[in-house]
A and B are shown apart, each in its own frame.
Chain A
């Protein structure tokens, strides 16, 4: 049989929390397991007898009883109960326990309360608990009287929890109500007991008890007032600053607020009290939040809310009218809105009448216009009924006041109010309404019908007035926003057969579109005025809304644009082209940036714009208009396609539905006859698809998106074909080739080149948006080879590996490649656009015929020939992409050819004496760098070890090594064509790999003390190479070698002085100082030594370069930009030193550095002076 006494003793003596729980669990188990006849419950309770009053020998000896042990013993009982099943105890046992613990509450106010409260909380959850006992427990609790307040907060909290548990138990609740009735005597006793509670945790539970009581019991008015008196005394509650509990002031406020809003019966007490508090002026936000909660929660508004409407409005309106704290004003407006939502019929009418009457006078007073507007809008926006009641008088007053405006700001404020009313109508018109509400809503529509001509027409016209002043522009900006909201207004359908239509008549809608469009048309002439930015942005948004609401409004805008383009054909100025480009972009946004409800309408806008832009572009080229205008129109085409594509993507279309590869052009022109002229087909006179009535079938987003891509491809094809022409067979072969067409006469070379770049970029965009299957189905590799000139350039057939090898073996540099025109001549920018956006699987097909292999070999040579500075980088990008998107290291004959070429080029570069020869071989090596830069990023690319190892030797050349070393930067510098967006294959850890394969071995050579490794000059070359590459790598990669790299950077800067090679060195020094300053601690003197000459002319003049450095190694004159950049970095480095290092490292240099920095404050470059001042301040603080 279980020895409960022993367990109790163990429990009393134990300290460890886990063991205590274990003991309690054991006791619970014993209670459940012991046979009923052994009366385990009685034995268990008796187990604590030794610690109870009257049973202790200590009592006799007049000693203080051991309160701690007694509390612990009682805790043994309560903890055991935590683990006892709820159905274990019999009713008699429960009663016995209640009596026992109840007695503790009576007699043992020192040790018994906490344990008893916890035990009782558990007991009332027992199945055998009888509801009548609830009253007894409450009575016992109340019996504590003043002793309750003397208990610790923890004990009180347990008692509150017990009370709350009792009050929410339904049986106990009904028993309490039966017993005490409305007089709720028990509550009066509790109020007496708890009246001085201050602990935040206890208050949270106590407020909850009061809330439950008010909500679930039905107390008499007297009790209600008493309870209200109990919690209102705390209002508005705060928290003692030093409280330890996790309760926030907001928790307490919210709990107290729940008491106020618990029942509508409190309204006569709570609302006057809260409004009174508000009138006293303290805690506006807290008060209005409480009022709002009451208004929201109270039922029976006719008794609880309506009597107080005037009083609430009377007080709250001043909070908005004269209030200064924005948060409080917004909270107040919310209350007024909530109030409107609780009222109906006459009550609502009276309330809105009060609001309107009180506010309209303020509309004429510029000081209060905004506040009046806020008040009106807050009530009017509550629901359609309030809106209907208030809108007509409000709009009438707004119109009157606009006619008699007091100032520009006054006009703006009035227009803003009107704008918000319009936005409100837009929202409310989509809300659920009863039929009666709908007809009321429609009845006030007349207010808006003439609003454009009465109010907005004049202010909007100010925007397109060339003589408009700043104030006019401000007014126009606000008016334009309103017009956007006005044109979007729709009617509310009264019946199921009634359609939702535009509120304004069509004539007004088109007038609005024209008036809005006149603003950018006039503003884009006046391009220097940045005051117009806001107006233009708002006009763009308003026009967009207008076209979304009124689709026929778009076409006239496009027509106006056409006349602008035609009028500018002879204009060679930048301004004319800029205007066309801006209008085209604006139309692209207005018509194509969002799909309307009817998707087909969206396609109409897009087609109309693209058709017009492309036709006008062709016409402009025909008319020999300035290439700047070509560029402007292509920008428009690209913007329209990008906007429309993004708009389609928002509707989640399927993105990789295959196209009909052979018939795509035919299908596109069949569907859209307007594209026929672009596709070079006979125009059969069919009307454009966008001009007819919408076809019955709506388009899906997927269909629409695919059409965008195909239409884009038709345009690309047309522009590419227009830009190229046959050149005739290349000498020595029978192969045809393409060159730029006669349109490119070189009259404005930069613009022509920009145009080519823009169409190439557009082609790239269209292709990039296609999925892999789409690209494959269209056979894009063919278009890369013939630039869409299908009939001029035949596509080579796929050949076997052997044949391809034989073909490359036959290739000689003298003859060159028959495809060289594609990647090496001026059309190469067009082929790059396609190649850059092609997926690797499509690029792979170029290798099937052996063309790509040939291009890789010929491209490395062409650089040294007669390429211009514009075509050469493009060729290199093509080489980079080919090497990246295809596994070229797997083609051994190609790699060995490239290795051979690199060997020869390096060797020649070493021997070359003539500067032309040096330049030629340098370009050849650089082209191989371009290939390697694509290769190394791809997984497995570093398998082309032969190439990489040869690159390690590039700087080992006294003659040209430094030139080759500098260009190694090309390997790691970021390139757009090597990003994931361009489908490049980029391995996540490629930088680490290249660091260990190439940079680290070079760093070893650069920093070794071994004289065999190379001369000082060679080592300097290696430092140049290492720093140029490391500059582009994250610090974490070279962190382990940061000390060596730091030394290399210092030594390079010391030897070369300020210049382009020192620039990466300084960047690296700055990064080391930022990431691992401790590494640089011992080099402070050197850091200062290399930094000073970068910004001090005096220090620079004292520099002497080492004798072993050849004369041409560093350019005689550093460009001002490089000089300034070096100075900037050097000043940042010097300025950081006092902050980074202990003063003992820095102090010895203070006089020298301060002197130089004070001189640098007069540096010729303004930004350097700023940095010098900051550095000077940092060094001045050094004592």
Chain B
């Protein structure tokens, strides 16, 4: 796409370190004075399975029950590539962590598979006249529908006053039939596929 045709040729781009991430337990310092720390503090093999039967396996964060929260939704959609720029929606601040809402709140624990959970994502297009706002919304919606379980209901809207025609855009995005029809359109589909290509997990 030629530069002249861009709605916003020079958007503000955040660096990866400025994006919100799940706070991980910081790794211990690894300085020259810590060279032997791992060796000295290594757990002896006789105090691990299978040699110690009543081994109290450390409660690890990654096996603990944790509900899908706003940060997880953010991580799922923030790396969608913008259709105009080779950067992600997170870097362009099109999706923002505070604009993701989940009901019932994840703070209440992991919902049962029979509970209907509503996820609302408010997008902020980089400029108020962004002609691709619907495509962005569609991308976010398609991505979330691909990766969330069936009891999650997704709603994608433009943040209030972030777009000159936000009611029109919202209407289009919430109309299931129009969304389905849009996905039948080959050229639109290929734009979406391109946007979602960067959403690779490992």
Contacts and interface: CB of A to CB of B under 8 A. Distances in A.
Nearest to A1097: B113
B36 A536 contact: no
A761 B45 CA distance: 13
B29 interface: yes
Contact of B50 (A530, A967, A1121, A1177): A967
A1173 B152 CA distance: 14
B147 interface: yes
A1165 B148 contact: no
A1159 B50 contact: no
B41 to A, nearest CB: 8
Given A541-B32, A585-B34, A873-B52, A1120 B63 contact: yes
A1121 B63 CA distance: 6
A873 B51 contact: yes
Contacts of A1121: 57, 59-60, 63
Contact of B113 (A537, A870, A1162, A1165): A1162
A341 interface: no
A970 B62 contact: no
B146 interface: yes
Given A970-B51, A1162-B151, A1164-B110, A593 B32 contact: yes
Contacts of B44: 757, 761, 976
A1166 B31 CA distance: 31
Contacts of B132: none
Interface string A1137-1180: 00000000000000000000011111011110110011011001
Contacts of A1180: 146
B146 A1177 contact: yes
A635 B35 CA distance: 12
A877 B44 CA distance: 11
Given A533-B29, A642-B39, A1165-B65, A1159 B51 contact: no
Contacts of A1125: 63
Contact of A589 (B32, B151, B201): B32
Contacts of A1161: 147-149
Contacts of B202: 1174
Interface in A586-645: 586, 588-590, 593, 635, 638-639, 642-643
A442 to B, nearest CB: 33
Contacts, number: 131
Contacts of B100: none
B104 interface: no
B107 interface: no
Contacts of A173: none
B127 interface: no
A170 B30 CA distance: 64
Interface string B61-91: 0111111100010000000000000000000
Contacts of A1124: 62-63
Interface in A848-891: 869-870, 873-874, 876-877
Interface in B21-57: 26, 29-37, 39-41, 44-47, 49-54, 57
A975 B47 CA distance: 10
Contacts of B62: 1124, 1165-1167
A274 interface: no
A533 B32 CA distance: 11
A594 to B, nearest CB: 11
A701 interface: no
Contacts of A590: 33
A635 B40 contact: yes
Contacts of B57: 1119, 1121
Contacts of B59: 1121
Contacts of B36: 585, 638-639, 642-643
Nearest to A974: B45
A1169 B63 CA distance: 11
Contacts of B149: 1158-1162
A843 interface: no
Contacts of A876: 46, 51
A1169 B111 CA distance: 14
B11 interface: no
Contact of A975 (B45, B72, B110): B45
A292 B37 CA distance: 48
A544 interface: yes
A827 interface: no
Given A873-B52, A1173-B147, A1165 B40 contact: no
Contacts of A913: none
Nearest to B58: A1121
Q: Which among A541, A639, A1166 has the highest number of chain B CB atoms within 10 Å?
A: A1166
A781 to B, nearest CB: 22
A975 B42 CA distance: 13
Contacts of B67: 1164
Interface in B89-119: 110-111, 113
Contact of B47 (A533, A873, A973): A873
B52 A869 contact: yes
B20 interface: no
Interface residues of A, number: 60
Contacts of A533: 29, 31
B23 to A, nearest CB: 11
A540 B31 contact: yes
A758 interface: yes
A869 B46 CA distance: 11
A1164 B146 contact: no
Given A639-B40, A877-B46, A967-B50, A1173 B33 contact: no
Quick one: which of B39, B44, B54, B57 has the most chain A CB within 10 A?
B44
A1113 to B, nearest CB: 17
A1158 B150 contact: yes
Contacts of B35: 589, 593, 642-643
B37 to A, nearest CB: 7
Contacts of B29: 530, 533, 536-537
Nearest to A537: B31
B117 to A, nearest CB: 8
Contacts of A1158: 149-150
A969 interface: yes
A1173 B65 contact: no
Interface in B117-170: 146-152
A1165 B63 contact: yes
Contacts of A1177: 146
A530 B110 CA distance: 31
B178 to A, nearest CB: 23
A1170 B37 CA distance: 32
Contact of B26 (A530, A540, A1167): A530
A1169 B46 contact: no
A586 B113 contact: no
A1164 B33 contact: no
A1068 interface: no
Interface string B187-202: 0000000000000011
A1159 B46 contact: no
Given A588-B33, A1161-B147, A1177-B146, A969 B63 contact: no
Given A877-B51, A1165-B66, 9 more contacts: A533-B29, A970-B51, A1120-B64, A1121-B59, A1124-B62, A1165-B62, A1165-B63, A1166-B66, A1166-B72
Interface of B: 26, 29-37, 39-41, 44-47, 49-54, 57, 59-60, 62-68, 72, 110-111, 113, 146-152, 201-202
Interface of A: 530, 533, 536-537, 540-541, 544, 582, 585-586, 588-590, 593, 635, 638-639, 642-643, 757-758, 761, 869-870, 873-874, 876-877, 966-967, 969-970, 973-977, 1028, 1097, 1119-1121, 1124-1125, 1158-1162, 1164-1167, 1169-1170, 1173-1174, 1176-1177, 1180
A-B pairs, 9 with minimum CB distance: A1162-B149, A589-B33, A537-B31, A1124-B63, A1164-B65, A873-B46, A530-B26, A1164-B110, A969-B50
10 contacts: A639-B33, A642-B40, A876-B46, A969-B50, A977-B45, A1121-B57, A1124-B62, A1161-B147, A1161-B148, A1169-B72
